[in-house]
Structures are given as structure tokens and as C-alpha cells.
A and B are shown apart, each in its own frame.
Chain A
Amino acid sequence: MKKFRIILLAAVSCLTGCGNWLDVVPDGVATLDMAFNSRKQALKYLATGYSYMPKNGGADDPATLGGDDIWTRRTTHFSNRFSLAGLDISEGLQNASAPVLPRWNRMFEALRVCNTFLENVDLVPDLPAWEREQWTAEAKVLKAYYHFCLVQMYGAIPLVRENMPVDADVYAVKVQREPVDECFNYIVQLLDEACQGDMLPTIVLDPASDYGRITKPIALSLKAKVLVTAASPLFNGNNDQATLRNHDGTPLFNTEFRPEKWEAAMAACKEAIDICHDAGIMLYKFEDAANRYNDTTVLNVTLRNAFNSRSSSEIIWANTQMISTPTSGGMIHASMPKLNPAYVNSNDICKWLGMPIKIAEMFYTENGVPLNEDKTRNIGDLYNLRTAQAEDKLYIRQGRTTVDMHFDREPRFYAWVGFDGGVWFGAGQYNDKDASSLRYLGFKIGETDGTEGQGNWTGYIPKKFIPYEAQLNAINNISSLSYAWPIMRLSDLYLLYSEAINEAEGPNGANSSELFRYIDLVRARAGLKGVKESWNAYTNNQKYNTQAGMREILQRERMIELSFEGQRFWDIRRWKTAPNEYHTPLMGWNMMVSTIDGTEEEVNKLMYQPQLLLKQEFGIRDYFWPIRTSDIEVNPNLVQNIGW
């Protein structure tokens, strides 16, 4: 028996020894603490915070395909290259069980990263004080931006002021939505904290490596936008959302209109404009140093470059996390036409993105007023055919027949909209002295972009996405500079300011001159005369004299100037004009024309028959995204948005 005991003892001691044998994990396995061991690692963690920036302008942005300004048909050939999920929103298929293009999860992850950074940035030993301040401010601006992105999409949201521990109590984690006013206040508070003193740089000192990071102009412009949004009808005195309450009865929307919100917005816009000017941000103008081009071309290139050139001087905030590329999946690739007859067989370049007729009609006439108000035009002629003459040759290929509405429009129309017969400056052909050498769009059979069943279903291409130098350099390959998608341009800020003045004081208030000055700056850059001058000369009314009339003018100006940039989607919701806008169905020209042989006249007659593409609807529920049903099931304290 004694022997047994010895054996047993030996076995037990052996097992104890084996306890250590089981320690297979060596020291030095990565933990989150390491992110704050050195400046270099902390910078990576800050970058992690940046990496969550929503990818505006792309398949993942609901504003790209989810609105009423861009449309395409669901074809597998395209959907293999570009997610068409956004169409679900545009076609009214948004739903609560699997929301389309939601931001809920990602943004809350991002907020956790920002908070973790803010909690730990003080631990980084080798971080100089000024840099610590700057990074803290950057993280706060990101935190504010992500909250704002959520508010835009969901309205009232739970605020993530601080992180809850991973093993927090199951009841504590079931948070509630906070009223929108509370949300906006908190976002502004964060931005104010970040803008204190000189924590943020006014200009990027090292653009080669830091371009795209938060600066003071960015923070203040964001603040301006946040306050304008907070003051807009959707959030300021919105009775539609009165029934949206937490379970304890707290209303999430304030139904009382507060004019002081517009005053705060106005002040913020001014502050932002001032610092942008200090930082050297100004409306872009193409410098034709070699004096190669005539004025029309220079204006054309100016307008195109203002948005899609990486050297554009008016970009306040470029999203370097969202680069538009000429490769498959990028916006350039998705909208590029072939243009070059040498590559007419290319089946990968199919100008898939189109825009409906109503957007083409939205642009002003050459007189800077809407088509239907321009007394020099006959509204009944718009769809009549007309042949381009020599004076049109830089805009419409001479001798081409197209509808009347394509003639005599403002320069922004020709710079940003491609249509059958429209001249496409650039893409390898730059000699504007010889207009017949320039590229143009041809949708008809046998023409560069006339291949059967390939792409564009409306007859219009959002040319704005494509840099003027972009061209095909091989059968399925586009050569183009890529560009970071602008989140905020100076013209955006100018128009916000004008809008805020008009809303706060009306067109004839104390800041009347400022109001007209900034909108006219934007118009002047587009080659148009001022609002008053244009309306006086070419319309039969002076609507700029009333607040409502001026509002209409400002909204139209904004929709034109910022067309296709992903702003319209949010603006028409903010203004609560979306139901009206969506009321006009999406129409396109008959693009089956590319399969029809016939005389030019016959073909044109067939082509310029508007075709119904999609009838859209917009109800109260469409102002906000649904919260995923399963999220509500996990946390019943969240109330669902109205209508879902």
C-alpha cells in the first residue's frame, strides 16, 4: 500500500508540474495596451478611428444610388462590379429586418474606438504635448462627425459619451435614444472642445503625409453644417415626428420651431467661412497658364476640376478614406463612357450610372434662371428637336440634332452632364480651336457608346465624376487620376451661409448683402450673373424679395452646384422637400435607340420619347432609416422609427 501512495504522490506532483507545461503562451502577445506604448502605435490607433469614415460617393453611400438623381438598371454585368444595394432604397425596398446600407453598427464601433483613444492618449509616453492636444481634438471631431452621421440617418440616437466596459451589466448596456436636440448639443459641444485654442492646425503643414486629417476649418465647417441641419425643418419644429417617444414618454423630437437655431447656424457659417479664408481656401479657378484654351473651355475645366481635381483650392475636407478610382468598383469606372472609337468593343466600360431627365431639367438656362421661368424660352419646345449650329460647337457637336432643352443652358450643365451629341472636352482631345476634333458622346448605333444593351439607361451621364483628362488607354482600361471624394467644398459653405441668413432674417434683413454676396460668388464662378440681375432681366418675377422665394432660389442653387455629390439626398430630407422632389417620376430617353437602324431623324424621334423608369414614393418613414429589428429585440429600450 505504501508503494501505491508513493506512486500516487508522484503522479500528483507530476500533474502539478504539468500545470506549467500547459502555459504555452509566451510573453509578448499583443494586447490593446500596446496601442498606447508609443507615439507610433498611438498614431495607428488614431488612424483606426479615421478608417471608419463613411465612404461617401460610392456603392456604399446611400446617396449614390438611393436617391432620385442617379439611376441604373439592375444588370448582373454591372452588379458584379458595383454593389447596387442603394437601388433598394430608391425603389422603396428599405426594410427593418435587414436595413439597406445601414451605418448603425459601424458608427458605434467607430465611436468606441474614438473613446478608447481619448481615454488612453494620455498614457502615450513619447507624445509631445502639442501633438497630444491635436490628436485629442482630431478624435473629438471624428467622434462628433460619427454622431452626426448617425443623427442624419436615424434621427435621435443613443449618445456614446463614454465607453461602457465589455463585461458591463446586461441591463446597463440597454441604452435609450436621446432627443435630437440633446444629440445636436452634444455634437456641437464636442466640436467646440476641439476648436478651443490652437489645438487643431488651420492648414495642413505637411500635406504630403497629413492631407486628409482634421484641421480647424474642417471642424468649424462641420459645426456649421451640423447647426444648419439642426435648424432645418426636419429637426426644428417637426410635428411629423411628434409621436416618436421613448418608452418612458420622453419625446425625441422638439415640435416647437426655434428661430435662434438659425441664428446660431448663421454665426457658425460665418466663423467657418472666415477661417477657411484664413487658411487660403478659395473658389477654384483653372489656371490656363499656357493660354491654350478659350474662355468657354477654361470655365468648363474650372467647373469640372472644382469637384474632381485633387488640387482644387476650394475643397475644405476631402475624404482620403474614399478615393474615386478608374478601376472596377470606383465611381470613374462606373460612369465613364468609351468616347474613343478605337475601343468601341470594350465591354467593361459601359457608363452604367445615368441620371433622369428631371435632373437635367433642374439646371438653369444660360441666363441663370430655371428653364420654366426663363421668359426667353418657350417651355413647350423643350422636347422639340433642334440641330446644333456653329455657335454651339463647344457644347454640342455641330450638326447633331438633339432636343431643344439641351441648348443654351448654363455652363455647369455642359460641364457636369453628358448627353447624346454633347461635346466631351478632354479624354485625349484638347484642341478647342478645332471643335470637330473634340470627343463627343454618341449613343446611336455604330457610335462610340452605341453598343446594344450596354450601360446607361437614361441618356445622361453624370460627367462630374470623371476628371476631364480621363480616357481609355486600352480596351478595358481607363487612365485617370483618382481623387479623394470631397465631403465639404467652399461653395457648399457659402450656400449654407446664405441659406442660414435667409432663414434667420429673410432676404432683406441686416445681413442681406452678405446673403446675396455669397450666393452670387458661387454663381459668378459658374459664369452666371447675380441673383437679382438674372431674375430681373430674364424672369417675370422677383421672388428673391420674399423669404420663401429666396429659399426656393437658394435650394435650387444648392441642388445644382452640389449635384451628384451626395448632398441632394440629405438636403431634400433636411428641407422636407423630398416628397415633392420624389413626386416627379424618374424618366429617361429611349435608350433602345442603340439597337435601331434608321435615318437620323427617325432615330432621334424614337429616342427622344421620355420613358418611365421608376415611380418613387416618399412617406414620413422614409426620412429616417429603420433600426434593425434584431437590434431592438436585443435592446427593447430602443424605440423604432416611425413607420417601420
Chain B
Amino acid sequence: MQFFSFLGRNRCVPPITSCLLFLKITAFLIIVATLQIHAKGVAQTVRLDISNGTVTALIKDVQRQTGYAFLFNRSDIEGLDAVSISIESDDIHEVLTESLKGLPLDFLVKEDQKVVVLKRNESKLKRERLLKGLQQQPTVQGLVVDTSGTPLPGVTVSVKDRANMVTSTDLNGRYVLQVPDGAVLVFTMVGYQSVEIEVGSQRQIDVVLEMSSSLLDDVVVVGFGTQKRRDVVGSVTSVSPGNLKVPSSNLTSALAGQAAGIIAYQRSGEPGQDNADFFVRGITTFGTNTNPLILIDGIELTPNDLARLRPDDIQSFSILKDATATALYGARGANGVILVTTKQGKEGPAKLSFRFENSMSAPTQTIDVADPVTFMKMHNEAILTRDPLGTILYSQEKIEMTEAGKYPLIYPANDWKKMLFKDYTMNQRSNLNISGGGGVARYYVAGSFNRDNGILNVDKRNNFNNNIVINNYDLRSNVNINLTKITELIVRLSANFEEYRGPLRGGADMYNLMVHSNPVLFPAYYPADEDFQYAQHILFGNFNNSKINPYAEMVRGYKEKSRSQILAQLELKQGLDFITKGLSGRGMLNISRLSQFAVNRAYNPFYYEISRYNRLTGDYKLFESQIGTEYLGYGELASEREQYSSFYFEGSLNYARDFGKHNVSTMAVFQARETLTANAGSLQLSLPSRNVGLAGRTTYSYDSRYFAEFNFGYNGSERFDKNNRFGFFPSAGAAWLVSNEGFWENIKPVVNNLKLRYSYGLIGNDQIGTAIDRFFYLSEVNMDDPGRRAVFGQEYNTYYNGITINRYANPYISWEKSYKQNFALELGLWNDLSVVAEYFTEKRDNILMTRSSIPSTMGLTATPRANVGEASGKGVDMMLEYQKSWNPDFWTSARANFTYATSRYDVFEEPEYNEPWRSRVGLSLNQVTGYIAERLFVDDAEAAGSPPQYIGTSEYGGGDIKYLDVNRDGRITEADRVPLGHPTVPEVVYGFGVSMGFKGFDLSVFFQGAARQSFWIDAAGTAPFINEAQILKDYADSYWSEENQNVYALWPRLSPTLNSNNVATSTWFMRDGSFLRLKQAEFGYTIPQRLSERWSMSNLRFYLSGTNLLLFSKFKMWDVEMAGNGLGYPNQRVFNLGVNLSIN
């Protein structure tokens, strides 16, 4: 097969790939089918007529008639007397009691699971006791409905304090449960207020559940366990997984504005590179690690792993913000904790839920560049305005001919954007999950497949696809097994596989190249002319063989990357009531492996240039200026090869018990973690990273009114010297539920909930240096440094590599510490509206920083560091939720979040500046400093007469930026730099939205915004003509020229070289990063149940949704959320069509 074919083979996906895809999906469906193990059964009448039959025959008969499964040991029923029985009854208890009379067999009927357990028992006494016990455990059944009378499926019905006696209501809201004597039944469901009912002698208990707006009874996932919302003392925000379901394969892109306390923003829309940056309560350290700790099912993972998590699989998503909430994670909790748990199976028939989405994705905004003719004119102008004797690059002939549009191969005018990118692309996502189980085991199995495409063009003449394609497969299986009544084993397996294919240089770089490629020197490619008619390759254009042809760069090859991550987790829960009531233990073991590799396949392009042409006829001659290859070369990308393994163990003891009105719980956790990285790059980095810790929590509450909590973490990290290795991080908090006081009764109808909380504590952070700087207590010496090589010998071939010190040892470096304080007010009004408002302060000390007091005359090759920095932060976060069902057909809800977080340097080692404004102390950690631009110089004379500007070394004059001499010393130097604008990380992030439903229709919109943020246009990166940069349209429309001497023009005087005076960080290119955008809108329709049931589905919903639909901002050049990264891969606007169905 010829590699190149001009016959137009245009197959983006080779047949083998699509075949594989098909196989993968089929495999999925087979798994689904086999999991359908539960059949529905209805109580039936049993007729038995057996004389002298075996027990086995009896069992078979009953099994056949009732559908009950029998569990027994074969040895138990061997050698028993024959059975003679004749009975007709619809009660299986009666049937079995009569049949097995006189035999040493006990039986136990589990009606809800349709299981009969048979067990041999010789002891008459014991047998009698068992029978008695059975009689004492009557069955209770009933119906659960909501206030409108609609039956509620999926309500958890449990016996209080008996974890293993639990069931849930079926589709019709019905339940059946065996209960012991004196039991109290608890009915719980997320979103509804729990109800507790004493059983007494009742056998039929029907319940009405009210919607809870205060969420007080929600279970909140906190560190190493769960708590009732009512009992929580610390600061924990829960995000409903539903709110994270956005039409994107990246979960992090949904975070902004969804949770009080999260500062998040997204700077790129490139598939696979579009993680949003997110911080819990802002950034309060200038150390290395500012990321929150991310725990998925208790395992520390990375933002990349969070990004790949499917919202469908999420049971709970919590953000732990203050000291008491995070103290248990003493070592890593300083930047906040994000806790995610995945779904678990519930007892009941298999429930299948399937979702499929197809999205259309297109940039929210693209960058416009000036047309090629303007480009040439302005380039000539740039040369002449700086040097009137300079040589212009584009002749008048070329400009005129280009303008006329004649002979586009000789006078090319490329629209690289059009050549390189499509207008939109299509992405698909699907997710399938099944859950269910019986009394012994419950399962949740989910699989999903996502496909994300980039918007790059593909050349039809290549037989490979260079566009970005990411196929991501995810498989998750959570199984809970009751080993005994008090022992539960949980096995969680999850695997994520990602196949990436994309351009050699990555998508963002292609965008960069689009703007940084000359549009007029050469066309993307020439058609094969007579001389080269036999060429088997594309005749790419070039100029002097020294330019980058972006089209050639894009289509000359592709990169393939494969990533897989597998996690296996085993958790054992053991009730220890036999030691003391209320005690239980838990152990968890987790092993995960990540592996990734990448290869490049590319050919070297053949470049052609025009050697001579006739401007009248348009005839031209090509010559080959670079001989390429017609075959693909290959390269392994060692830097993208990644292998990572981690091991985690956690063991805990819990104790929880009520003593009348006193409620006490305590917990101790031991944890150990080890991670290893292959391809680490150096000996020190190749060593395992280890953490151990002991953490504890004690809570006490009195009468559900007063709550107190004490937490501690005692952690060790391998990064520090032996003497400074362990840190102790205690915290404490208290809460007062005012609305539970007796005197509140009268106010309750209006203020149904009022709670005050306070916490204070200490948290540590051991990830204080970059990954390269691991062991601060050791010096890092390179005994073989080629960078300090000395050469000797007459032939210069004797050489010795040098010995250099990359780090000086400092045994005193230890934990960064964070002191967090939190005040909170929770308010519930009219049962519809709930408000949580929190005020927090934080103080960090021991922040690692590079010593700046050491002069260079010391001659150190590495600057020592020490824990000397201090910073503080404070802020407010607020959450407001409103829910109302006006009638059974119409409901509304609204929610709003607001986070304000600010930070400041408290102690920062810096030179003693004469100018107070140069000190960082008191400024935000993300504050930028720079010059104050007054305007552009009117002319050279003014520039010469103004204070000299020592900013870089470029000459400047009329039309260049004039800066303010802040310290009035008659010159512009470093000393005139002042803090500019707002921090680069937004201080305010907020979101608000409303949802409503009417009958089957639902509609929701969600707005998200950020404020108090500044960013800078990258003046050096966008400077026209520098690195072949094109002229941004906005620059072409507004720049200082000798004809139009606008001293407030957007772009200063043109220059063919980088003018360091103009590109310095200054107010000239500072922009306001505030924005408000319509982040999400969704319209859905659920097919009425009577219809969907006819198609044996329990639920069928279609929906249309969109992301990034509208944007309000003062900044117009590109999507403002990308801030300074404007030439990167643009953020995407997505229109999405989806279907969601579930089958019981």
C-alpha cells in the first residue's frame, strides 16, 4: 500500500478501531444481562402431598411452588427420617413447621429475600429458643408516601441500632421487614425528613415523609465516616452529584460556583488538558502545594483522577473546609479536603440506569487576526518607524498582488485558522450502571464510555488522523458482602482506560502556532506541478527553509498516548459489640497502579519554495528546499511515560453510644501510605514516599442541642529529618442548635432551624517544596554534572564532569502549619429556605521560602531555604437553598453560592527596600507588581525629556509606553514597580441557579461568575512579528502610528523586534477578569410513568443542555475565563442532547 494516496481516502477512524469499539460495548451489554439475577415473585399458595419422601424432595417441591431459595449444608439433611405431609397453605412458615416437625432441623425464612435457611440442630432446647425468637420477630409491612400521597420508592427502612436489619421500599413504595421486639423503625431518604416509629404491636405501618429543606437529617460524609448534618460541628459543604452532571468529560469543569468555599476557574478547553484549577477557600500559602487533598473512597488521588470520575457513580461529594473537618488528615489537610464516595449497591432487584449524551462543542470565542495585506503593510511600517533606513520585508508588488488576490500560490494569503481548525466537533458520553443485591451481598457495577474530539482539521491525503481523539473507558464495581451478621466486607474495583490520539505538538500549541505563523510567505502546500508530478508526498510550502509551516506541523504525524489506572480496594467492617456496646472496627487496604506511555509517529515534511515566477502569467518554478521522508518515523516519548504505584492501609476503631441524652462517639484511625514512581529521574525521587499517621475524633452531644468535637492528627512524613519528622495537629469545635431549645418552640414555624458553630485548630502540610526537592535535610550533590564540565588536552577530548551542589542540607525544615478558625451560622426558614453562612480566618506559618537575605557574594550554587514565611487568609462563604413543592405537579428550587477568600503575606523574607510599596508584606499572595503606565509618549522629544526608563534594554520613543516615576528619583527602575490590580486568582467566585418542574418537564439554569480578579494580556506573546506572530485584530484596529498618534491606543508603536519597554508588566495590559456566565442550562422531559412502564422502564428522560452559553464581561478579545492564556486552546461552548433511562 502506498503511504500517500491522492485518491482521497478519508477515513478518520480505521476500521479496526471501530470494530474494537463495538466489541467493548457488546461486552458491556453481556455483563449487564448476566447481572439480571433477581426475578420478581408473588406470594403463592403451597400444596404438599408427600408420603415417605426425602427431605430433598420436599425442598425441591417447596422451592418449585414458592420460588424460595433454600440454603443448607448437604450433610445436614443426609440420613434424616422420611417425611409424610399433606397440607395446603399460603404461609410458608406454616408449611415448613408442619413438614419438618420431628426432624432435628431449624429453619429461618427471609421473606424479603425469598430465602430459607436450613440448619441441623440436635438440641431441643436451642431449637425451642430459636422458635421462640422467630415468633418474637414479627414482620412489619407498610407503604411510604410523600406529602402529596405519591408512593416513594427507595426509602431506606431500618431498625434503629441494628445495622443489618434494613430494607428499602419498592417501586410502589411498599416494604416488608422482620423486626425484633421493641424495635424502632427509621425511615430515611435523601431530601426528606427522617421519621422514627416505635413498632410495638403494629404489623402495618404506613408513613408519610416530608421533604426536608433544612437538610438537617442528611447524612454528611466527613473524614473517615459519616455524620448527620444536625451533628456536624466542622465546616463541610456537600454538593449534590446531580449538580455535577454537566455535558463534559471533565468533572472539575463543573466545580466553579457549585459549592460554597470553592474557588475555581478554567483556563483551557483542550480535551484532556481542560482541568479547572480549584482551591478550597482560596490560596493561603506561597509554598509549592496549593491543591486540596482529594480522596475518592478514602484514597488520595490527583485532580486528574477527580476529573475522570463520572458523576453518575458519585454517591456523595463533600468539601471539608475548616480545622475540625480536616484535622484527621493532619498531614495533608491544610489546603482543604475534597471527599468523594462512589455508589454502593442496595438490597433489592437489579436496577439498571443508562445515560447517553451527544454534544456539539465549539469555541466560546476565537481570536481574530488582521488580514494578510494589513499584516504586510504593518510589518513594513514597523520596520520603517523604528529605522527609517531599514529594509522593508514586503515589496509594493507583493502587497498589491496579494490584495488583488491573483496567483495565490505566488502571493499566498493564508487564513491559518480556517486551514487548521474546524468550526465544531461532536463528543459522546455514555454511562451504564446496575445495582442491587440480596441480604448477603449487594453490588453496584458501572461502566462508561466517553469520546472527546478536538477541532483540528485532518488532511485527506494522509491515511491517519491527527485530530485529538480521546476514548475513555471506565469500569467500577463495588460489592458489599455480609460475612456474618456483624462483619461486612466491601470490595471496590475501578479501572479507567484512556486512549489519546492527537497532534504531535498538542492542541494548545496548534492554537499558538495559528497566531504565530507568517500568513504571506508561503502557502500551506503547493499542488504538484509538472516537475513534481510523481511526488508521493504533500508539497508543503516554506520560506528560506527557516519558517514553521503550521499546517505541515499539524498533519505530519500524530501522538498516541495510553493511560490506565486500576484501583483495588478491600474494606472490612467488624461490629465489636461483644467487647463493649457501640464499638466497631474497620480496616481498609488499597492498591492502585497507574501506567501511561506515549509514542509519536510522524514523517518529515518535504518543503518547497518558489524559485522564480512570472508576475504577468503566474507561471512559477518550484524547488525542493528540504528533503523529507515519505515514511513515518517513530519516537518514544520518555517524558510522557509514567508509572506509579501506591499502597494505602487504614485501620480504625469506632465507638458510638447514647447514654440517655448524652451521645458520645470516638474514633481512632491509623493510616499508612506509600507511593512509588517509576522514571523518577533521580535516586532521591525514586525512593518511596511514605506517610504514617494516627488520628482521632471524639464527639459529644447533649440532647441534640449542644455539640462538641475534638480531633487530632499525629503524622509523620519521610521528607523531614528524624527529629522533625512528626507533627501533632489538634483541633476542637462546638455547636449550639438553638432551634432545639425549649424556648424556641414558638418561633419554629418561621425559623425552623438555627445553629451556631465554631471551630479552631491546626493542620499541617508536608508537600512544601517541589517534587524535585524532597529531602531538605539532605544535601543534593550531583557528582557527575556535565553542565560544569571542564575540557583539557590538545585535542580537547579529555574532559571531567563537574561536581555541583543542587541543595544544601537543612535538617530544621519541617511541616508547614495552618491555624484555621471558623464561625458559622445555619438558618432554616419556613422549612423551605436554608442558609449557611461562614466566616473563616486562617494563619499559616512555617511556610518554606527561598532565603533572600543571602547575598550572591556567598557564591552558593543553590539558594538555601527555610520555614520562615507566614501568610494569612480570611473570607466568607455562603450557601442558600430554597425548595418548594407547590402541588404534586409543580416544584421549584433555587440555590446560590458565594465564596470570598483573600490572602496576605505576613512574613516574607525580602531585601530592605527603601520604597515601602515594594514589600510584599500585606499584599495578596497572588498579587502582581509592575509599572504604572501613564500613556504613550507623544513623540521622541517627549521620551527624551522624560525620566529615563530602565526597563529592559530596548530603545523607546514616541508611541512607546510612558511609565510613572513613582519614587520621583528621576528614572524608572525596579523601584517604581507597585502592586497592580486585583490578584490573579479570583477572590470572589459565585454561582446561582433555579430549577423547576412541571409534570414531566423540568428546566434549570445556572449562572456562575468570578470577581476581584485581574489578568494581563501576554504582551510579549502577542507582540506582532515576534516569533512570526500575526497581528491580533484588536491591535490592528488600535495602535500608535505616525499618521495616527493616539497616545491611548491599545498597542504602542509597532516594532519588528520585541520592545522590552512595552512588554513589561504594567497597567497598560492589565484587564479586569470579572465575569458572569450562563454556565449551565438544561431542559428535560420525563416520559409519564404509565408509558415508560409499558416499555418495562421505570424512568425515561430526555434532555437538552448547554454549557457556557452566555458570557458577560468587559473584556472582548477572548474568553475572559482563560485570562492570560488567551492564545491557548479556547474554552468550549457545548450543546448537548441526552437520554437517561432506568429499568428496575
* Physical interaction between A and B: yes
Interface residues of A in 1-43 (CB under 8 A from B): 3, 7-8, 11-12, 14-15, 18-19, 21-26, 29-32, 34-35, 41, 43
Interface residues of B in 735-790 (CB under 8 A from A): 775, 778-785, 788-790
Q: How far is the CA of A323 from the CA of B798 in the complex (A)?
A: 13
Of A23, A168, A310, the contact of B794 (CB 8 Å cutoff): A310
Of B684, B798, B953, the contact of A100 (CB 8 Å cutoff): B953
B423 CB–A CB distance under 8 Å: no
Closest residue of chain B to A48 (Cβ to Cβ) is B802
Kindly state the interface size class of chain B when it binds its partner: 35 or more
B796 touches A320 (CB 8 A): yes
B717 touches A207 (CB 8 A): no
The smallest C-beta distance from B351 to any residue of chain A, in angstroms, reads 40
B1092 CB–A CB distance under 8 Å: no
B913 touches A29 (CB 8 A): no
Query: Which of A89-97, A269-277, A406-414, A581-589 lines the interface with chain B?
Result: A89-97
Interface residues of A in 199-230 (CB under 8 A from B): 207-213
Question: Which chain B residues lie closer than 8 Å to A242 at the CB level?
Answer: none
Interface residues of B in 700-759 (CB under 8 A from A): 714, 716-718, 722, 725-726
A596 CB–B CB distance under 8 Å: no
Question: Which chain B residues lie closer than 8 Å to A631 at the CB level?
Answer: 855-857
Closest residue of chain B to A52 (Cβ to Cβ) is B788
The smallest C-beta distance from B399 to any residue of chain A, in angstroms, reads 18
Known: A634-B854, A636-B912. A47 touches B790 (CB 8 A): yes
Interface residues of A in 65-81 (CB under 8 A from B): 74, 76-77
The smallest C-beta distance from B528 to any residue of chain A, in angstroms, reads 23
B56 CB–A CB distance under 8 Å: no
B725 touches A74 (CB 8 A): no
Interface residues of A in 41-66 (CB under 8 A from B): 41, 43-45, 47-52
Of B792, B804, B864, the contact of A209 (CB 8 Å cutoff): B792
Closest residue of chain B to A325 (Cβ to Cβ) is B796
A173 touches B716 (CB 8 A): no
Q: How far is the CA of A21 from the CA of B782 in the complex (A)?
A: 27
A104 CB–B CB distance under 8 Å: yes
A76 touches B953 (CB 8 A): no
Interface centre among A11, A30, A112, A208 (most CB of B within 10 A): A30
Known: A95-B953, A208-B794. A635 touches B545 (CB 8 A): no
A347 touches B953 (CB 8 A): no
The smallest C-beta distance from B1117 to any residue of chain A, in angstroms, reads 26
A166 touches B725 (CB 8 A): no
A48 touches B788 (CB 8 A): yes
Interface residues of B in 365-393 (CB under 8 A from A): 391
B688 touches A24 (CB 8 A): yes
B781 touches A32 (CB 8 A): yes
The smallest C-beta distance from B765 to any residue of chain A, in angstroms, reads 17
Question: Which chain A residues lie closer than 8 Å to B804 at the CB level?
Answer: 48
Of A14, A321, A633, the contact of B790 (CB 8 Å cutoff): A321
Question: Which chain A residues lie closer than 8 Å to B782 at the CB level?
Answer: 30
A77 touches B546 (CB 8 A): yes
Of A25, A77, A347, the contact of B775 (CB 8 Å cutoff): A25
A22 touches B725 (CB 8 A): yes
Question: Which chain A residues lie closer than 8 Å to B302 at the CB level?
Answer: none
Of B798, B853, B975, the contact of A170 (CB 8 Å cutoff): B853
B790 touches A50 (CB 8 A): yes
Known: A11-B694, A100-B953. A32 touches B805 (CB 8 A): yes
Interface residues of A in 579-637 (CB under 8 A from B): 592, 629-631, 633-636
A111 CB–B CB distance under 8 Å: yes
Known: A24-B688, A34-B783, A347-B544. A207 touches B793 (CB 8 A): yes
A482 CB–B CB distance under 8 Å: yes
The smallest C-beta distance from B454 to any residue of chain A, in angstroms, reads 31
Kindly state the interface size class of chain A when it binds its partner: 35 or more
Q: How far is the CA of A211 from the CA of B796 in the complex (A)?
A: 8
A280 CB–B CB distance under 8 Å: no
Q: How far is the CA of A635 from the CA of B790 in the complex (A)?
A: 32
Of A30, A43, A112, the contact of B859 (CB 8 Å cutoff): A112
B714 touches A15 (CB 8 A): yes
Interface centre among A43, A50, A100, A323 (most CB of B within 10 A): A50
B974 touches A629 (CB 8 A): yes
Question: Which chain B residues lie closer than 8 Å to A48 at the CB level?
Answer: 785, 788, 790, 802-804
B808 CB–A CB distance under 8 Å: yes
B1032 CB–A CB distance under 8 Å: no
Of B718, B791, B803, the contact of A23 (CB 8 Å cutoff): B718
Known: A19-B716, A21-B692, A210-B793. A44 touches B974 (CB 8 A): no
Question: Which chain B residues lie closer than 8 Å to A91 at the CB level?
Answer: 953, 955
Question: Which chain B residues lie closer than 8 Å to A12 at the CB level?
Answer: 694
B952 CB–A CB distance under 8 Å: yes
Question: Which chain B residues lie closer than 8 Å to A342 at the CB level?
Answer: none
Q: How far is the CA of A100 from the CA of B718 in the complex (A)?
A: 43
Closest residue of chain A to B853 (Cβ to Cβ) is A170
The smallest C-beta distance from B330 to any residue of chain A, in angstroms, reads 13
A181 CB–B CB distance under 8 Å: no
Q: How far is the CA of A174 from the CA of B853 in the complex (A)?
A: 9
Question: Which chain A residues lie closer than 8 Å to B29 at the CB level?
Answer: none
Q: How far is the CA of A164 from the CA of B860 in the complex (A)?
A: 10
B16 CB–A CB distance under 8 Å: no
A43 touches B800 (CB 8 A): yes
A237 CB–B CB distance under 8 Å: no
Question: Which chain A residues lie closer than 8 Å to B683 at the CB level?
Answer: 29
B242 CB–A CB distance under 8 Å: no
| Interface membership of chain A positions 109-121, coded 1 if the CB is closer than 8 angstroms to chain B and 0 otherwise | 1111100000000
Question: Which chain B residues lie closer than 8 Å to A320 at the CB level?
Answer: 790-793, 796
| Interface membership of chain A positions 127-148, coded 1 if the CB is closer than 8 angstroms to chain B and 0 otherwise | 0000000000000000000000
Question: Which chain B residues lie closer than 8 Å to A11 at the CB level?
Answer: 668, 670, 694
Known: A95-B953, A97-B973. A212 touches B858 (CB 8 A): no
B694 touches A321 (CB 8 A): no
Closest residue of chain B to A77 (Cβ to Cβ) is B546
Interface residues of B in 813-867 (CB under 8 A from A): 852-861, 864
B953 touches A88 (CB 8 A): yes
B226 CB–A CB distance under 8 Å: no
B579 touches A44 (CB 8 A): no
B950 CB–A CB distance under 8 Å: yes
B793 touches A44 (CB 8 A): no
The smallest C-beta distance from A159 to any residue of chain B, in angstroms, reads 10
Closest residue of chain B to A482 (Cβ to Cβ) is B796
A174 touches B781 (CB 8 A): no
B790 touches A51 (CB 8 A): yes
Q: How far is the CA of A34 from the CA of B780 in the complex (A)?
A: 12
Of B545, B579, B653, B913, the contact of A347 (CB 8 Å cutoff): B545
B1057 touches A108 (CB 8 A): no
The smallest C-beta distance from B377 to any residue of chain A, in angstroms, reads 20
Closest residue of chain B to A150 (Cβ to Cβ) is B857
B795 CB–A CB distance under 8 Å: yes
A524 CB–B CB distance under 8 Å: no
Closest residue of chain A to B623 (Cβ to Cβ) is A345
The smallest C-beta distance from A53 to any residue of chain B, in angstroms, reads 8
**8 interchain residue pairs of minimum CB distance:** A112-B859, A633-B911, A47-B800, A48-B802, A47-B790, A108-B859, A93-B953, A50-B790
In the complex, 26 of the A-B residue pairs with CB atoms within 8 angstroms, ordered by the A residue number, are A23-B718, A23-B722, A24-B687, A25-B775, A26-B687, A32-B781, A34-B781, A34-B783, A41-B803, A44-B802, A44-B803, A45-B802, A48-B785, A52-B788, A93-B954, A96-B950, A110-B859, A112-B860, A170-B854, A173-B854, A173-B855, A207-B794, A212-B793, A482-B796, A631-B855, A634-B855
For the A-B complex with A25-B775, A108-B858, A211-B794 known, give 15 more contacts whose Cβ atoms are closer than 8 Å: A12-B694, A15-B692, A15-B716, A25-B778, A44-B802, A48-B803, A52-B788, A93-B954, A105-B856, A160-B859, A173-B858, A175-B855, A210-B792, A212-B796, A323-B791
> Which residues on B are within 8 Å of A, measured CB to CB?
391, 544-546, 579-580, 653, 668, 670, 672, 683-684, 687-690, 692, 694, 714, 716-718, 722, 725-726, 775, 778-785, 788-796, 798-805, 808, 810, 852-861, 864, 911-913, 950, 952-955, 973-975, 1057
